[in-house]
Amino acid sequence: MRALMLACLLAFSLVSHAKANEPPPDWLAARLWLDSADCALKTGKFLVLCRDSRVIPIGDDSLGDDPGHALALGLYSALTGRAAKPSDIARINLGINVIGLILLALLLFTLQLRISAALVLLSIALARQYPILTPHPAGLGDACLSAILPLALLGLPLIKASQGTFIGWLVAGILSLATASLFRQSTAMMGVAASAAAIAVSVAVSGRRTILPHIAQLLAVFVAYKAPHLVHRARDIAYNLQPARFTEEHGPWHSLYIGLGVNKNPFGIRWDDASGIEAVERLDSRILFGTPAYFDALKHEYFRIVTTSPRQVLQVYATKLASTLHQSLPAPLHVPIMWPLLLVGLAAMVVRFWIACFAGS
């Protein structure tokens, strides 16, 4: 445990050394985050932009963006009295990665999967791999945060954890999922799906006698996923603002649609925001990017493809899975990381369950 805590301290020391670059010229959202932080410094109001002696929702200028970075930068500026800088975006991204990896390692340690916990901590080497000042470098941490709740729901009952431990990790998992949704809602979708599956498994194992707690867990998962919406509605009420012109959360449909284009595919889709925009323009050129109508159009287009070409869609997802499993550590190591993590974790779980069954007999 001491070694784990030492690794955590060393990991957090990385945050203060995050690289500082300028936001990409075409990445409007990062510049709006900094503008919103400046407005928070002046007015003490968050997720807004200062325009002509008044404040407007950041979503009046930002298209389909999640609120996490803008909120974090605004809180930083308001609490410290200092203007946010581009380097602070890099620190936020690195901080999310480090926190997510450490929380996941602590959960695995609690589940008595110590080797897996150590391997997860080694993955902190990936936390600084992408220093660009967009939300994407924090994807590793977002994914880890999204995994906390389903792993806790499935794993803690198997080791017969105490009620206090279970409740503690349940709360941590819900808060982690909400945090992931605030920073990258499309990534948090994985946690929502996995948590729903974990709850379904728990219901099947425990029976209908405990259905009410599971319903409460599902509601908590839904609320956590809708954290961006709830934060923006709270802002509108607190500052007496009208809802923003554009959708103020990432939502699933844009990512699901262009996600079909990560690899070569028969649909002509590219892993590029422009591919989604072009698809909607073909359907109705009057629909603006980032509006509710835009996401609704992509939802219908995604389901059209899934229902008319299910085999090709499965092939696309199988190719993406294979690519993910071949992820390696950055240079100079170039050591495969995903397969060892999965195999060691699976082996540890099998051994653990075998010991539990043997001890029980």
pLDDT in tens, 93-108: 989 999 999 999 999 9
Residues contacting residue 322 through CB under 8 Å, at least 6 positions apart: none
77 and 204 together in one domain: yes
Instruction: Give the model's pLDDT for residue 134.
Output: 80
- Do 232 and 258 lie in one domain? The reply is no
Give Cα separations from 319 to 36, 134, 263, 323 (angstroms). Answer: 40, 26, 7, 6
Residue 113 is assigned to a structural domain of this protein: yes
pLDDT digits (tens, 9 = 90+) for 228-285: 999 999 999 999 999 888 888 887 888 899 999 988 889 999 988 899 999 999 999 8
Same domain, 271 and 302: yes
Percent of the chain with pLDDT over 70: 81
Q: Do 261 and 233 sit in the same domain of this protein? A: no
pLDDT score of 14 more than 60 = no
Instruction: Place 350 in a pLDDT band, splitting at 50, 70 and 90.
Output: low
197 shares its domain with 220? yes
Domain-located, residue 295: yes
On whether both 66 and 202 belong to a single domain, the answer is: yes
Confidence of residue 10 (pLDDT cuts 50, 70, 90): very low
CB 167 within 8 A of CB 156: no
Is the same domain home to 139 and 93?
Answer: yes
Distance CA 336, CA 87 (A): 30
CB-neighbour burial class of residue 184 (10 A; exposed 0-12, middle 13-18, buried 19+): buried
Select from 237, 262, 291 the last residue of a domain: 237
Instruction: Give me the catalytic one of 36, 181, 195, 255.
Output: 195
56 and 180 part of one domain? yes
271-320 pLDDT, tens digit each: 888 999 999 999 998 998 888 889 999 999 999 999 999 999 999 998 88
Do residues 268 and 229 both lie within one domain?
Answer: no
Q: Does the pLDDT of residue 128 top 90, yes or no? A: no
In a domain, 351, yes or no: no
Flag whether 356 is in a domain: no
Range of the domain at 261: 252-325
- Residue 227 in contact with residue 67, Cβ under 8 Å? no
Q: What is the pLDDT of residue 18?
A: 44
Q: Give me the number of domains the chain comprises.
A: 2
Residue whose structure tokens are 């799906």: 193
Active-site annotation holds for 195: yes
Through-space distance between the first and last CA atoms of the chain, rounded to whole angstroms: 30
